[in-house]
A and B are shown apart, each in its own frame.
Chain A
Amino acid sequence: MSSETQKILTTDGIPLEVSLKKAEKKNKIKAFLLVCPLLLFIIITYIFPIGEMFSRSIDDRMVTNMLPKTFKAMESWDGKELPSEEVFASFLADYRALAEKKEHGKLGQRLNKEKNGFNTILKKLWRKMKKFEEGNAKEQIMAVHKRFSDVKYWQAIKRTAPPYTMAKYLKGMDMYFNEDGKVVQVEEDRRIHRILWLRTLEVAFFVTLFCFLMGYPIAHLLATLPMKYSNLLMICVLLPFWTSLLVRTASWMILLQQQGIVNDFFVWIGLVADDNRPEMMYNKTGTYVAMTQILLPFMVLPLYSVMKTISPSLMRAGKSLGGTPFIAFWKIYFPLTIPGIGAGCLLVFILAIGYYITPALVGGASGTLISNQIAYHMKATLDWSFASAMGLMLLTGVLVVYWIYNKLVGIDNIKLG
C-alpha cells in the first residue's frame, strides 16, 4: 500500500517515517544511557551476588575434583556395607595426591560438614600414612581409627560425588539423601531448621500485626491533627528512628527485665508481689515488644503519607449522607488507606523476617531465628554454601509473600507516599 501512495517527505527529502525513527532511536539511546548507571548498580550489587549465592549453594565440584579415583571406584559400590579394597586404595591414592599439594586440610573441612568427626580421622590418617606399607589399604586405614570401619563415613563420601547438588536445600529443611538416594528426615533430636523457619514466620507475622494495630491510630492522628501538634508528634515518631538499634534494644532490656523499672513500678503500686514478678524479657514477649517498637516507624510513615492525601471532606460527606462515624470510616476512609497498609505491612514483614540482633539479645532460649543460623554458618562453621542455600530460601519466602500480596491486594495498590 505504502509504495503506491506518495510518501510524506521532510524538507530535506528523507521520508518522514525514517527521520522519525532516527530521532526516536537517539532518544531511546539517551534514555538507556540515563538508566544505565542504575541498571549497572542493580546488576553489580543485586543480581550478580544472588547468582553467585545460587551457584555456591549447589556447587560441589571441589570434592568431585579432589577424589576422582575414589568416586570412580565407588560407582560399583552399593553403599550398604563397607566398600571394597579397591575403594580404600583409590581413596588413599587421592588423599596422598592432595597431601602433596597441601590441600588435604580443605577436604577434611568439607567432609566434616557432611559427617561430624571426619576431619580428625583424616588428620590422623595423614600422620600415619607415611608409614603405610604397599597394598592392603583397607586393613591399614581401618587400623588408623575405628570410625574408618563405620560405613556411615564412606556413605558420606559417596554423597558428595555429584558435582552439583540440592543437598544443602534439603538440609535447610532437616532432610538428606540416604544411601539409596531417597530423601529422608534427620534424627528427631537434630531437627532444628524447620522449628526456626516457623518461628521466624511467626515472629514476623505478629510483629507486623502489632505494628499495624499501633501504627494505624498514630498515623491517623498525625494526619488529622493541626500542624503545630502533628509536627511534635512526628518528631516523637522519628526520634527513636534516629537512635541506634542496639541502644534501643538495650533500653528495653533495662526496662522489662524481672528486676527492671517496669516490674519495680508494678511492685510499687501493688499490682504484683515482689517474689512473683512477671517475666517480660528473654522470652517471646520481650522479642515482640522490642521488635514492634523498632519497626513501628516503618509502618507509621507509609500510612501517614497516604492518609495525608485523603481529604477530610470525604468523611464529612459520608456522615452527611446518613452513615454512622464507624460506617463512614469503614466504607470510605479505610479502603482509601489500603495502599498505605500494604506498603507498611510488606515493609515491616520483610524487615522482621531477616532480623536477628534484637531477637538474639532479648529472645532468650526461643530467641534464635533462621537468620542467626545463617550467620552462624557464615562465621563459625564457614559452610558458606549452606548459608547461601538458606539465604536463598529466605529470599524465596519473601518473594512468595510478595506474590500472595499481589494476588490478594494487587501490587499497583502499594503507595509509599
Chain B
Amino acid sequence: MRKLAKLFLALTFALSITTSSFAVTIASWGGAYTESQKLGYGDPTAKALGVEINWVDYSGGLSEIKAQKEAGAITWDIIDVFAFDTINGCDEGIFVEFDFDKDFPAAPDGTPASEDFFAPMPSKCAVGNILYSWNYAYNSENVKGTPKTIKDFFNTKKFPGKRAIYKSALTNLEIALAADGVKPGQGGAKIYEQLETEKGVNRAMAKIKKLCTDPKGGCVFWSAGAQPPELLMSGEVVMATGWNGRFFNATIGEGAPIVQVWDGQGLDYEYFALVKGGPDEANAKKALAMMTNTEMLAGSAKYIAYAPYRKSSIAVMQAGEPWYKDGKTNMVPHMPTAPANTKNYFLVDPFFWADNGTELGEKWEAMKAGL
C-alpha cells in the first residue's frame, strides 16, 4: 500500500514537472475565439518550436493571476487581456515589459514590429493580438426599412422596438455621444474630450436613459458575447450592439438574417501579456513572439472575423482570399479595420477607462437603478 502511494506521488510529481516546465499555458476567453487562436497560431507555433501549448479558459480580469502571484503558485504564462488590464497589470508589476522591436519579429518587408502594429501599445507589457468592433446589428426580418447610421439605433420613431446594449458603461457612453451628433474626430478624440467633462457624461447618460425609458424603445442589457445574436434571432430586440465577430458567425457561419451596421463603431483591441515569473517564461516568450508574427496572426482570421493587429497580415490575407475557412468567403471586407467599415468610428480609449472606470461605473449603475 505504501509503495503504491509512493509511486503515485512520484507519478504526480513527474506529471506536474512535464506540465509545468515543458509546456506553455495560455489563459484566454474560450469559445469560438480561443478556437481561432488555437487553430490559427497556437498549434502551428507549438509544432514549429516543439513546445506544448495548453489553452485554459478564464473570464477576464486580473483577479486570478493576482491571486496566483500572491499565493506564489503561478500557473499561467500568457494571458489574453483587455487594454486597461494590461495597464493595471503593468502598474502592479504582474507582467513582463517588452522592447517591441527587439522582442518581436519585423514584418516580411522589414518594417520593424512597432511600426507594423495598427496602434501603439497601451503599455509596455502588452502585445497586440486582434482588433474587434463594438458595432450594432439588426434582424432584417423584424425591421422595416434599413438602419444605416448610429443615429438610427436611437431613432425609435422610425424603427420602433427594444434595443440590446452592453450591461456596463464601456462604449455605451461613446456610442450615445456619437449618435447625439458629436463628431468623433481623430480616433474618437473629440468624444473622449466631451466625456472628460461632467456635462458630456450627463449628456451621454441622458441619451441612453431616453432610449431605455421610451415606450416605443426600451433596453435589454447583455453581458455575454453570445447574447446579442440570440436576442436578435428570438425577436426579443430589433437592434443590438455587440462584437462584430459574433454577428459574423451568426450571419456567415449560421446563415441568420442579421445585418451589421458599421457607422459609429468602436474599435477595440485585445492583447497578450506575458506573466512575470510564470512556469516557463523563456519558452512562453519565444512562443509569444512567433504567435504574433505576420503569418500567424493572419492565420487566426481564417476562423473568426477579428482583424490581426499587424498591418502586414492584411496583405497576407488579401493574397490568400477567399481566406475564411469555408473556402468561399472573402475575409478582408468583414474586418473591422476595412476602409468601408471605418468611415465613422472611434478607438476605445483604455487610458480613459483605466482612469475613470470606477466613477463612471457608479454613475452608470445609479442611472440604471432609476430606469
Q: Is A379 an interface residue (CB 8 A)?
A: yes
Q: Mark B34-67, 1 if CB is under 8 A from A, else 0.
A: 0000000000000000000000000111110010
Q: Mark A107-134, 1 if CB is under 8 A from B, else 0.
A: 0110011001111100000000000000
Query: Which of B14-22, B84-92, B294-302, B317-325 is the contact stretch?
Result: B84-92
Number of interface residues of B (CB under 8 A): 37
Q: Is B4 an interface residue (CB 8 A)?
A: no
B219 adjacent to A105 (CB under 8 Å): no
Nearest Cβ in chain B — how far from A190, in angstroms?
A: 5
Partner of B93, one of A106, A116, A368: A106
Query: Which of A72-80, A255-263, A306-314, A399-407 is the contact stretch?
Result: A255-263
CB neighbors of A among B227-256 (8 A): 234-236
Asked whether A382 and B366 contact (CB < 8 A) given A119-B355, A282-B221, A365-B212, the answer is no
Q: Is A96 an interface residue (CB 8 A)?
A: no
Q: Mark B335-358, 1 if CB is under 8 A from A, else 0.
A: 000000000000000010011111
B365 adjacent to A368 (CB under 8 Å): yes
Q: Is A189 an interface residue (CB 8 A)?
A: yes
Nearest Cβ in chain A — how far from B326, in angstroms?
A: 28
B234 adjacent to A257 (CB under 8 Å): yes
Q: How far, in angstroms, from A151 to B188 measured CA to CA in the complex?
A: 30
Asked whether A106 and B91 contact (CB < 8 A) given A116-B355, A364-B221, A380-B357, the answer is yes
Q: Is A367 an interface residue (CB 8 A)?
A: yes
Nearest Cβ in chain A — how far from B194, in angstroms?
A: 15
Residues of A within 8 A of B162 (CB): 258
B87 and chain A: residue at smallest CB distance: A119
Q: Is A102 an interface residue (CB 8 A)?
A: yes
Q: Is A19 an interface residue (CB 8 A)?
A: no
Q: How far, in angstroms, from A192 to B212 measured CA to CA in the complex?
A: 19
Nearest Cβ in chain B — how far from A70, in angstroms?
A: 19
Residues of B within 8 A of A192 (CB): 362, 365-366, 369
B366 adjacent to A113 (CB under 8 Å): no
Q: How far, in angstroms, from A118 to B356 measured CA to CA in the complex?
A: 9
Number of A-B contacts (CB under 8 A): 102
A259 adjacent to B362 (CB under 8 Å): no
A117 adjacent to B220 (CB under 8 Å): no
Q: From DSSP, what is the main secondary structure of chain B's interface residues?
A: helix
Q: Is B108 an interface residue (CB 8 A)?
A: no
Residues of B within 8 A of A112 (CB): 354-355, 358
B220 adjacent to A364 (CB under 8 Å): yes
B63 adjacent to A116 (CB under 8 Å): no
Q: Is A366 an interface residue (CB 8 A)?
A: yes
Q: Is B223 an interface residue (CB 8 A)?
A: yes
A102 adjacent to B93 (CB under 8 Å): yes
B61 adjacent to A380 (CB under 8 Å): yes
A366 and chain B: residue at smallest CB distance: B369
Residues of A within 8 A of B361 (CB): 376
B366 adjacent to A105 (CB under 8 Å): no
CB neighbors of B among A181-226 (8 A): 189-192, 195-196, 199
Q: Is A361 an interface residue (CB 8 A)?
A: yes
CB neighbors of B among A39-87 (8 A): none
Asked whether A105 and B358 contact (CB < 8 A) given A191-B366, A259-B235, the answer is no
A109 adjacent to B92 (CB under 8 Å): yes
CB neighbors of A among B92-136 (8 A): 92-93
B236 adjacent to A258 (CB under 8 Å): yes
B371 adjacent to A366 (CB under 8 Å): yes
CB neighbors of B among A339-382 (8 A): 360-361, 364-368, 373, 376, 378-382
Nearest Cβ in chain A — how far from B227, in angstroms?
A: 9
Q: How far, in angstroms, from A305 to B42 measured CA to CA in the complex?
A: 54
Residues of B within 8 A of A103 (CB): 93
B366 adjacent to A190 (CB under 8 Å): yes
A382 adjacent to B62 (CB under 8 Å): yes
A119 adjacent to B236 (CB under 8 Å): no
Residue of A103, A260, A366, A380 with most partner-chain B CB within 10 A: A380
A258 and chain B: residue at smallest CB distance: B236
Q: Is B368 an interface residue (CB 8 A)?
A: yes
Residues of A within 8 A of B311 (CB): none
Q: How far, in angstroms, from A367 to B222 measured CA to CA in the complex?
A: 11
Residues of B within 8 A of A118 (CB): 355
Q: How far, in angstroms, from A197 to B51 measured CA to CA in the complex?
A: 50
B93 adjacent to A105 (CB under 8 Å): yes
Nearest Cβ in chain A — how far from B354, in angstroms?
A: 6
Partner of B223, one of A105, A106, A258, A361: A361
Residues of B within 8 A of A191 (CB): 366
Residues of A within 8 A of B62 (CB): 379, 382
Asked whether A106 and B236 contact (CB < 8 A) given A116-B356, A366-B371, A381-B357, the answer is no
A357 and chain B: residue at smallest CB distance: B223
Residue of A199, A254, A364, A366 with most partner-chain B CB within 10 A: A364
A259 adjacent to B234 (CB under 8 Å): yes
User: Would you give 5 A-B contacts (Cβ < 8 Å), ordered by A?
Assistant: A105-B91, A112-B358, A116-B359, A192-B369, A259-B236
Other A-B pairs beyond A191-B366, A195-B369, 12, CB < 8 Å: A116-B357, A116-B358, A119-B354, A120-B351, A190-B362, A196-B365, A254-B234, A260-B236, A281-B236, A364-B220, A365-B221, A382-B62
Q: Identify the B interface with A (CB < 8 A).
A: 59-63, 66, 88, 90-93, 162, 167, 212, 219-221, 223, 234-236, 351, 354-359, 361-363, 365-369, 371
